[in-house]
Amino acid sequence: MLAGLFTEPRIMFAKFGIVTKEWKNNMKVLRRRNRFYDTRRFGQPEIRVYHKKAKGKRCPRYLLKCGCCEERLEIYYAADGLEIGGVNGALEDWREILLPLLLIERKGKRLSDKTQMARSRKATL
């Protein structure tokens, strides 16, 4: 039984009943136009985002596709963890890794955008 958990980590969270109805109801699913090579918003091809609901023992997931080719990345999520590209980890661990890359600073329970702070400093100079 445990061997199946380590070969299929995306199933692990659902097997232990961690994905609850209460948590599912609070989750807001991102909606986008998934046009191929759409450069209007950011000046470079926009990431195409798809969402799949949980099925049986599999957790819900986001499928991210490159805007200019067919490269893809799957993100499985549950109440206590994420699996991004096959790498399983706790939410706090992913926050610690990804927030600095996105230029988001954590101050206690609040998050602040470092890019907006830098823009406001330039405007005052």
Cα separation, 86 vs 16, in Å, equals 19
State residue 117's pLDDT score.
Answer: 62
Is residue 107 classed as helix, strand or coil in its secondary structure? strand
> When comparing pLDDT for 120 and 47, which is higher?
47
Contact status, residue 95 vs residue 84, Cβ threshold 8 Å = no
Q: Residue 17 above 50 pLDDT?
A: no
Indicate the domain borders of the chain. Answer: 2-89
Give this prediction's pTM.
Answer: 0.65
Contact status, residue 57 vs residue 40, Cβ threshold 8 Å = no
Q: Can you give the C-alpha Rg of the chain in angstroms? A: 18
Q: What is the pLDDT of residues 88-117, one digit of tens each?
A: 999 999 999 999 998 888 888 888 888 766
Contacts of 10 (CB under 8 A, 6+ apart): 58, 59, 61, 76, 83
